């Protein structure tokens, strides 16, 4: 009886040791794969972020240029509006125009 218990325990322990090793190997491999995937994903994400940031910077730069162009457009508009409908009055006319009420 004692011999058979001893054998069972020995076999069970051996099985547990094998299972342990198998678990360790399986999870370690899966872990390594996941780490690699995370690393690859991190690189891809960084690349996407770089791409996005670069495009955003290009957009913002062009937007600034547009803002400047619109500002120039407003200045030209103001300058044209300023003179439109005005009369060019020679100095000899302005002398008489500026006569004040006594």
Q: How far is the CB of 26 from other proteins (least distance, A)?
A: 8
Interatomic CA distance for residues 26 and 24, integer angstroms: 6
Q: Could you tell me the CA-to-CA distances from 74 to 32, 34, 58, 93, 96 in Å, in that order?
A: 62, 58, 24, 32, 35
Our measurement of the distance from residue 31's CA atom to the centroid of its chain's CA atoms, rounded to an integer in Å, reads 30
> Which residues are at the interface with other proteins (CB under 8 A)?
2, 5-6, 9-10, 12-13, 16-17, 19-20, 23-24, 27-28, 30-31, 34-35, 37-38, 41-42, 44-45, 48-49, 51-52, 55-56, 58-60, 62-63, 65-66, 69-70, 72-74, 76-77, 79-81, 83-91, 93-94, 96-97, 99-102
Q: How far is the CB of 4 from other proteins (least distance, A)?
A: 10
């Amino acid at each position: 009886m004692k011999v058979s218990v001893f054998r069972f325990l020995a076999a069970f322990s051996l099985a547990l040791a094998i299972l342990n090793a198998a678990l360790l190997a399986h999870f370690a491999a899966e872990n390594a794969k996941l780490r690699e995937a995370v690393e690859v994903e991190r690189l891809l994400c960084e690349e996407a972020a770089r791409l996005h940031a670069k495009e955003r910077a290009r957009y913002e730069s062009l937007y600034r240029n547009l803002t400047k162009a619109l500002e120039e457009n407003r200045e030209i508009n103001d300058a044209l509006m300023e003179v439109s409908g005005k009369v060019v009055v020679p100095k000899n006319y302005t002398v008489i125009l500026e006569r004040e009420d006594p």
